[in-house]
């Protein structure tokens, strides 16, 4: 059975796909606080819908070729320039002024069309329009994939696929126009498949905005807003269910922190906490987990760290903090920290027991003069 596609029908569906996508982008732009690029994408889809509408009117002989040809090619190139601008803003989360220079290309195309009248020749009009569509879509797909290193959202790959397929179909349209004998499909079929791609792009853009919003909310719920490190909820969620053999836990407590707040004010206390966190983070390994457990108490979980090495790291951190001086309001504030160290021996233990051991070692460090690290031993439990 041979399926016949009417060009006028395909163009009508083409317009509808763009209009539906544009309305989706506008809705998400109104609903989302971080909707960079959505406005440009909506304008892009509206421009492409209008270009397709002009082409449809031309196919029905309701407009002369010079009129609809000029309008469809200039609006089409404008739409794909806006698409590139929108995807750049959406993918990076911020709009760059230099991206808007892409709109100079439609102006150049319009001038060339006016001077050379290339738009009245079907294959030339289609080749130039689809050539720019290919360049814009291919560059947009690369942009979405490249930004995965900064923002690893699963939907990025799903969004890049229909954009890249749209670029490939634009290239097939060019092949069908220039060398129809070797083209794998007719331009009409390529346009029909691009409709599916346009719906998919709109869908995955909506999912990307939703996933980004959820990630931001999750980050806000798990991040200490003052210091930027994970809070207690984040820290506990990153801990294994059972403390594994060869791992260690450090509980840190800034010495006399209440006196810093009472003497110098809470602004100074905040500056002390921020400086302390920065110093600790610089001296932990990439795989170590560090978070603020509350007030002036912090925790660090050290995977694959024996007791002796954990104690050495804790003593090194004590020395780092001891040499730290915070300047605030003309005052110089010196810091020290007490650290309790608990290491998992040959047998696994529960997280509750590991925290109890580290807490007992921390109290021992404070009772024995502060500004030191103490490793938990059975005698400490007896004393506690």
Per-residue pLDDT reduced to its tens digit, 283-324: 999 999 999 999 999 999 999 898 999 999 999 999 999 988
One domain for residues 117 and 204? yes
Q: Is residue 328 situated within a structural domain?
A: yes
Q: How many domains does the chain have?
A: 2
Q: What is the pLDDT along the chain (384 residues), one digit of tens a residue?
A: 445 556 667 777 888 889 999 999 999 988 877 678 999 999 999 999 999 889 888 878 888 989 989 999 999 999 999 999 999 999 988 878 888 999 999 999 999 999 999 988 888 988 999 999 999 999 999 999 999 888 888 899 999 999 999 999 999 888 888 887 777 777 778 878 888 999 999 999 999 998 888 888 888 888 999 999 999 999 998 888 777 788 999 999 999 999 888 888 888 899 999 999 999 999 999 999 999 999 999 999 999 898 999 999 999 999 999 988 888 877 888 899 999 999 987 677 888 889 999 999 999 999 989 999 999 987 665 444
Residues 322, 333: Cα–Cα separation, whole Å? 11
Q: Is residue 37 situated within a structural domain?
A: yes
- Return the pLDDT at 1: 41
One domain for residues 130 and 63? yes
The answer for residues whose C-beta is within 8 angstroms of residue 207's C-beta and 6 or more apart is: 155, 158, 159
One domain for residues 20 and 138? yes
- Return the pLDDT at 5: 58
**Residue 69's domain is classified under what CATH number?**
1.20.1070
One domain for residues 190 and 302? no
One domain for residues 190 and 332? no
The DSSP result for 248-310, as a single string, is EEEEEEETTHHHHHHHH-HHHHHHHHHHHHHHHHHTS-TT-EEEEEETTEEEEEETT--HHHH
Q: How far is CA 227 from CA 193, 218, 221, 358, in A?
A: 50, 17, 14, 23
One domain for residues 245 and 137? no
Listed residues 204, 222, 240: the one ending a domain: 222
Q: Is residue 360 situated within a structural domain?
A: yes
Give residue 31's domain range: 7-222
One domain for residues 274 and 303? yes
Q: Which secondary-structure segment (H or E) carries 104?
A: helix 104-116
Q: Is residue 227 situated within a structural domain?
A: no
Tens of pLDDT, residue by residue over 108-136, are 999 999 999 998 888 898 899 999 999 99
Q: Is residue 152 situated within a structural domain?
A: yes
Q: Is residue 1 situated within a structural domain?
A: no
Residue 190 buriedness (CB in 10 A; 0-12 / 13-18 / 19+):
buried
- Between 257-264 and 266-282, two packed helices, what is the crossing angle to 10 degrees? 140
Listed residues 186, 204, 222: the one ending a domain: 222
Are 29 and 42 in contact, with CB atoms under 8 Å apart?
yes
Q: Is residue 43 situated within a structural domain?
A: yes
Q: Is residue 149 situated within a structural domain?
A: yes
Listed residues 180, 198, 222: the one ending a domain: 222
**Residue 328's domain is classified under what CATH number?**
3.30.70.270
One domain for residues 259 and 218? no
């Amino acid at each position: 059975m041979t399926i016949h596609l009417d060009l006028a029908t395909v163009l009508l569906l083409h317009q509808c796909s763009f209009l539906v996508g544009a309305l989706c982008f506008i809705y998400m732009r109104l609903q989302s606080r971080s909707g960079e690029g959505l406005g440009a994408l909506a304008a892009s889809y509206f421009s492409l819908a209008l270009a397709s509408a002009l082409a449809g009117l031309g196919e029905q002989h309701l407009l002369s070729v010079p009129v609809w040809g000029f309008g469809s090619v200039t609006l089409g190139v404008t739409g794909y320039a806006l698409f590139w601008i929108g995807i750049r803003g959406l993918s990076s989360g911020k709009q760059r002024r230099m991206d808007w220079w892409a709109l100079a290309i439609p102006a150049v195309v319009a001038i060339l069309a006016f001077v050379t009248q290339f738009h009245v020749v079907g294959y030339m009009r289609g080749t130039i329009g689809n050539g720019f569509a290919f360049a814009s879509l291919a560059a947009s797909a690369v942009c979405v994939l490249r930004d995965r290193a900064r923002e690893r959202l699963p939907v990025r790959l799903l969004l890049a696929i229909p954009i890249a397929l749209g670029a490939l179909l634009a290239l097939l349209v060019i092949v069908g126009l220039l060398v129809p004998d070797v083209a794998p499909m007719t331009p009409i079929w390529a346009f029909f498949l691009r409709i599916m791609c346009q719906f998919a792009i709109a869908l995955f853009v909506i999912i990307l905005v939703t996933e980004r919003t959820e990630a931001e909310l999750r980050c806000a719920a798990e991040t200490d807003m003052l210091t930027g490190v994970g809070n207690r909820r984040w820290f506990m969620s990153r801990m294994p269910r059972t403390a594994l053999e060869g791992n260690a836990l450090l509980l840190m407590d800034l010495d006399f922190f209440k006196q810093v707040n009472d003497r110098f004010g809470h602004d100074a206390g905040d500056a002390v906490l921020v400086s302390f966190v920065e110093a600790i983070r610089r001296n932990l390994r990439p795989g170590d987990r560090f978070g603020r457990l509350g007030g002036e108490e912090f925790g660090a979980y050290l995977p694959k760290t024996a007791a002796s090495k954990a104690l050495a790291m804790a003593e090194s951190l004590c020395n780092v903090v001891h040499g730290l001086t915070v300047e605030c309001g003309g005052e110089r504030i010196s810091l020290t920290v007490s650290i309790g160290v608990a290491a998992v021996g040959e047998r696994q233990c529960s997280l509750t027991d590991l925290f109890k051991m580290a807490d007992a070692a921390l109290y021992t460090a404070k009772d024995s003069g502060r500004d030191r690290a103490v490793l938990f031993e059975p005698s400490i439990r007896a004393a506690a």
